[in-house]
Structures are given as C-alpha cells and as structure tokens.
Structure 1
Amino acid sequence: MDNIKETIIEVVQSILPITIVITVLQFTLIWLPTETFIQFLIGVLMVGIGLILFLLGVNIGMLPIGEMIGSALSKTKIIWLIVFFGFLLGAVVTIAEPDVRVLSTQVDQVSNGEISKTILILAVAIGVGIFVALSLMRIIFSIPITYILAGGYGMIFILAAFTPSTFVPISFDAGGVTTGPLTVPFIMALGVGVASVLRGKSASQDGFGLIALASLGPILSVLILGVIYG
C-alpha cells in the first residue's frame, strides 16, 4: 500500500509542473480553443494513470525478474549462455520499447516509407542486443568500460563520415530512445543480477554502465544501415 501511495505522489509531482505551465500559458498567451485545452487535461489525467500503473508494474515485475534472470544465468557459469540470453533479452525488450516505435513511425513518415519502420526497429534491437551481450562480457572478464566506450565512439565517428547525412541525426536519436522506460529498468536489473552473483564483482561498480554501452549499439547499427542504404 505504501508503494502505491509513493508512486502516486511521484507521478503527481512529475506531471504537475508541465500542467501548471501550460495552464498559465493558456490563460495568458496562447488561448487555445476550449475543446483542445480540455483534451489536454484529459490527456494529462490518462498519462498520470498510465504512469502510475507502469511504475507499479516496473517495481513489482520488471526489476525483480531482471535481477532473478541475471542471477540465474550467472549461476550456470556457462559464458556463451549468459552472452546469448543477454543479446536475446536486450533485443526483445527494445522491440517492446514505446520510444523506439515512436521514432520508427516518425522516420517512416518523413522518409515516405524509404526507411521502413520494421527495418529500423530491427536494426535498433540488434544493436542493443549486441552491446548488452558485450556489457555482460565486460562484467565477466572485468574489461574496463572506458575501452569499450572509446572503441565504440571511435567507430561511430568513422562510420559517420561514410553515412548519408540524413542517417546521422536519426542514429543518435535511436541511441537516445533506447534509454526508455521499459528498456532501462530491465537491462539495469539484469546487469546488477549478473554482477551480484559472480565472485569478486561489485553490483554497484560492475552492474552499472550497461545503458551507456547499450546506447552505442543503435547508433552504430543505424549508421551501418545508412551505409547500406547510401
């Protein structure tokens, strides 16, 4: 019950500022049609209810199951199994990410279907999956995160020079949308679960950084997609 109360307070505090600002603008500067403003208020209410249910779902289901899966995989001591399921889970959770679908729909509309929605989602999902797998390998083999970040961004700058200019901003947006409300909690919990079981690993030091690395994957995959389309 306390968890529900805290979640409601958190959501209200999150959406109240933007509601107040738009309400003030409505009655001072912009004067939107009454029907539009009422639709906005209804939308705010629906967003609030949706966020409450979503956050409760994350806390009750996504975070615990992510840690449990990470712990269970680590206990097998089979490296290829940990890496394979890291890739698979990273890819499928990205496909379900709402932000990725919004981006792919926008790109599909703006490009008049030249950059397919399905192709973009699959490219982003594969990129995230590969880098989640690399992140788990980093935890297992104690590879410094700076090495992977430096190598990843080096490859990004090189690919950007050979990719059509229209794909560069899309690629960086793709890296941003993967840090959405569905992907982040699950992947972070997965990393913490893996690190908490492996001997000599710190859940606070080794379990984090997966999101930073997972964001590199979509950028690289979309840039490669640009090279192919180009």
Structure 2
Amino acid sequence: MTLVLILNIFVKVESYLLIKFILGSLGVIIGLSIFLSGIDLSISKIGTMMGDFLARFDKISKVLIFGLFLGFIISMAEPDLIILSNEVSLALCLNSWLIVAIISAGVGFMISLGLYRIFKEISISKLMWIVYLIIFGLMAITDNISHAIAFDASGATTGAMTTPFIIALGLGVANLKGEHGEENSFGLVGMASAGPILAALLMSLFTQIGQIEIASHEEGSIIISGIINASLAILPLSLVFFTMNHKYFKMEKDEFKEILLGLIYTYFGLILFLISVEAGFMDLARVFGESLRDYKILPLIGFILGLLVVLAEPAVAVLAEQVEDVTGGSIPKRNILKALSIGVALAVMLAVIRIKTNAFSLWMVIVPGFLLSLIISRKVPQLFVGIAFDSGGVASGPMTATFILAFCQGVAGNVADGFGVISFVAMMPVLTIMIMGYLYKGRN
C-alpha cells in the first residue's frame, strides 16, 4: 500500500480508484489471512492424510490414478489460477473454467508422475531433464504469447492452496520410504508446476489467441463471480474428503470439526480475496501500468516493484526457513530473502523490458534460465534440486498473480501482451536456489 502511495506521486490517479484500491487491499489482506488460516487447519492436514492413504495402496496403478484425481481437484481450487484463467479466457476466447480444467489436468498428470518417482526413487534431476526437453520441443512449434500463458499458468497453479497440499501429500507418501524420505519429500511441487506448461502449450495448438483490450467489470458481477468461483473451487475437494473420511479415515469428532472449520475459513477467505482483487486491487495496478508505460525509468520501477512485492508473498518466508533448516544454518534466512528479492526484482524488470521491446521474446530468458538450472541440478545434492523446483511456485503467489500481472497488462495496453511476468518470477527462485545449493556443496 505504501508503494502505491509513492507511485501516486508520479501518477495522480482519481480519488475513487485510490479509495477502491485501499478497500481492496484491506479485503485482500483479511481474505488471504482467513484463507491461509483455513489452509493450515484443513488443507494441509487433508493432504497428509491423503498421502498416507496413497502410500498404503498395494498397486502402483492405484496410486497413479488417485494422484491424478487429487492433483486435478486441488488445482481447480487454486485462487491464483482462477484469477489468471479469467484473464487468459479473454485472450483465448475460451470459458475460464474450461481453461482451469485443462491446466488442472496437467497438474494431476505430473503429480501422478511425481508420486511414481517417489515410489521408484528416480532421480528428480533426470526426470526434470526429460520433462523440460519435451517442453522446449513444444515451444519450438508454438508462438510467444502461448509460451507466456503456459509459464504463467505454471507459476499461478502452485500457489497458496496447491503448494501446502502437494507438499503434505508428498511428505505423507515419502515418510513411508525409509531413509530417503526427506529427500524424496521435496520436488513434487516442482513436478506439478511443469504440468500446466505442457497442458497450456498443447491447448494453444488448438486455439487462436487475440489481442483483447482491457475491460472494466461491474461490481455486482464481481461479487456473484467471486461466490461462484469459490464454491466451484472448494466443493469438489470437500466432497472427496467427506467421502473418504466416512469410508476410510473415520476421524474423531473434535478433529473432524477442526478440519470442517478450516474448510469454512478457506471458503469465505477465498470469496473475500477474489472479490477484493477484482473490485479494486487490480484496477489501480492497470492504471499505473498504463500511465507509466512511456516513462524511461519504467524498468527501474518494475525492479522496485519486484523487490518489495516478493517479500509480501506468504510462502516466501516459509521457503527461507525451510532452506535454513536443511542447511543447518549455513545459508541464513536473511540471505535467502535477499537473493529471492533481487531475483524477482530482475524478473519483473525483464518482463517490463520484454513488453516494451518487440524483438525480445520470452524464450530468450526462460529457455536459458531453466537450461542453466537443469545443468546445475546435475552438480548439487538432490535435496536442493527438489527444493529449487518447489520454490518456483513460491514467489509467484497471490501478489504476483494480481498486482504485478495487472501492472504489466497496463504497460502492454492489452491482456495478451501482459502475460509472461509470472513466468519470469517463477523461474528466478529455481535458478537462485540451485546456485545456493552449488555454493553450499562447495563449502562442505
């Protein structure tokens, strides 16, 4: 909010927009807080129980089918993906929930493959090499906007809802794998984040992308849309949990009530978050982008936005603590936060430069960035490889999927050319953690 007031010195926006933004910001903060509280009470616990349940299947085929199903329904509930799909639907002229379903199918497929990797103890770096070579092949036959949408979908999918569930799911399965449990527990989020790229690139082969101007929304439709989207997101997972609890888990009353309360928190927090984002939060970001698009210091503004916004992402602090614990304090939390801040700042700056430069294509950064990460992955402990690919979805959370995306769309002047920023933000933490892992290995 402070950052917006500083930007308002350069761009004088109308008072009603500023008021809408302040109210929207409060709604986002309160909604996200309620949502995340609900996640802790319910989704993480459900994910762990599902992981334990999966690990007890006697046939790997059952694990793969159930993993595919779980990945699909949890991705359908991801708020970042819902927001992005509403923007992508304008460019692709497709129903937003059809886009969510296609992307979620990709997530489900890769979670299924990731669970297979855990059971067979396959090296994650080898598997990621194969997956990304296929992705690079599909990029060769698709256009730049398709690349941007695909990698943006990857970053948006592994957000506040999906990430804790997938981590808990992977931990539940990996804990029963003995001495390699800790190492195998990481990487499932990274595998899941590759699914949307594959799904979106395949989807783009059968759709026509247009240049759609940014349109405003009516307040009444935003409220109704928020309620409908939250209901469609939470209901499938809740029904699966209730069914499985009745047949298999048979939880104690008090524990069941706690999870039920968590699901209610998650539902109402998601409604408030989605309404607040559309009602005022993203509108002002677009206005700033439109007003600042001709400023020579625009890349610097993008750098500062990235530097500050990443620190507001809920999962960034969690990742920093996770790496500090794994390295026994050799890589302090503050150093990780600094590195991620600089990395994301550079990512937003590059996204702005790409929009303003016709000859600057997304693949010129994404392909070398992931290729370098894959090369380093062969030289660092596999634990770091898993953490690095998991971290790709951490920085590209609710703040990036809302304010930064809308700002870049404002700079571009249309919906389609504004895509790509989430992909840059999702790539940088992968590379940053890989480099940290390489340095950590060199010191030991």
TM-score per shorter chain, which class?
0.7 to 0.9
Partners of 1:67 and 1:221 in 2: CA distance: 29
Report the equivalent of 1:7.
226
Report the equivalent of 1:199.
none
1:61, CA displacement in angstroms? Answer: 3.0
- Please tell me whether the aligned partners of residues 7 and 56 of structure 1 are also in contact (alpha carbons under 8 angstroms): yes
Report the equivalent of 1:23.
242
1:109, CA displacement in angstroms? Answer: 4.3
Which residue among 144, 151, 170 is the counterpart of 2:387? 170
Report the equivalent of 2:372.
155
SS in 1 for 2:402: helix
Report the equivalent of 1:220.
431
Partners of 2:279 and 2:333 in 1: CA distance: 32
- Please tell me whether the aligned partners of residues 222 and 279 of structure 2 are also in contact (alpha carbons under 8 angstroms): no
Letter in 1 for 2:334: T
1:180 equivalenced with 2:180 (yes/no): no
1:112, CA displacement in angstroms? Answer: 4.6
Partners of 1:2 and 1:68 in 2: CA distance: 21
Report the equivalent of 2:300.
84
Partners of 2:291 and 2:372 in 1: CA distance: 33
How many residue pairs match? The answer is 221
- Please tell me whether the aligned partners of residues 83 and 136 of structure 1 are also in contact (alpha carbons under 8 angstroms): yes
Alignment of 1:1-150 (within 5 A): 1-76=220-295, 78=296, 81-142=297-358, 143-150=360-367
Partners of 2:319 and 2:234 in 1: CA distance: 22
- Please tell me whether the aligned partners of residues 95 and 122 of structure 1 are also in contact (alpha carbons under 8 angstroms): no
Please give the TM-score of this superposition, normalised by the length of structure 2.
0.47
1:114, CA displacement in angstroms? Answer: 4.2
Partners of 2:363 and 2:290 in 1: CA distance: 25
Alpha-carbon spacing, 1:15–1:111, altered in 2? closer, same or farther (3 Å): farther
Letter in 2 for 1:39: E
Letter in 1 for 2:400: T
Partners of 1:129 and 1:62 in 2: CA distance: 20
SS in 1 for 2:417: coil
Q: Structure 1: any 5+ residue segments left out of the alignment?
A: 197-202
1:134, CA displacement in angstroms? Answer: 1.0
Alpha-carbon spacing, 1:54–1:113, altered in 2? closer, same or farther (3 Å): farther
Range with bigger deviation, 110-119 or 47-56: 110-119
Letter in 1 for 2:319: L
- After superposition, the C-alpha distances for 1:110-160 in whole angstroms (9 at most, x for unaligned) are 555444333323322221111111111111122111222222122222333
Partners of 2:391 and 2:303 in 1: CA distance: 18
Partners of 1:19 and 1:114 in 2: CA distance: 41
- Please tell me whether the aligned partners of residues 67 and 190 of structure 1 are also in contact (alpha carbons under 8 angstroms): yes
- Please tell me whether the aligned partners of residues 330 and 440 of structure 2 are also in contact (alpha carbons under 8 angstroms): no
Range with bigger deviation, 148-157 or 16-25: 148-157
